[in-house]
Amino acid sequence: MLLSLIAMARKRIRIDLEDPEGAKYNFNIEGNVTREKILKIFELMDLMNIEGQEPIQLGSVGGKIWNIVDKHFPIGKFTSSMILEKYEDEYEEPIKLSIISTYLSRFASKGRIERLRTGREWTYQTIKILQKQPEF
List pLDDT tens digits, range 57-116. 667 898 899 999 988 998 889 999 999 999 999 999 999 999 999 999 988 888 889 999
What's the CA gap between 73 and 3, in Å, rounded?
21
Amino acid 111: pLDDT: 83
% of the chain exceeding 70 in pLDDT: 72
- The pTM (predicted TM-score) of the whole model is 0.55
Residue 136 has pLDDT above 80, yes or no: no
Residue 8 has pLDDT above 50, yes or no: no
Residues of the chain with CATH 1.10.10.10: 61-126
Residue 48 has pLDDT above 70, yes or no: no
What's the CA gap between 81 and 52, in Å, rounded?
27
More confident residue, 25 or 74: 74
Burial class (CB in 10 A: 0-12, 13-18, 19+), 93: exposed
Least confident of 20-24, 29-33, 88-92: 20-24
The values of phi and psi at residue 94, to 5°, are -75, 155
Query: Hey, what long-range contacts does 76-79 have (CB within 8 A, 24 or more apart)?
Result: 76/125, 77/123, 77/124, 77/125, 78/123, 78/124, 78/125, 79/121, 79/122, 79/123, 79/124
The values of phi and psi at residue 24, to 5°, are -110, 140
What's the CA gap between 30 and 75, in Å, rounded?
27
Taking the chain, what is the end-to-end CA distance rounded to the nearest angstrom?
Answer: 34
Amino acid 49: pLDDT: 61
Amino acid 15: pLDDT: 75
Amino acid 81: pLDDT: 95
Q: Can you name the CATH fold of 61-126?
A: Arc Repressor Mutant, subunit A (1.10.10)
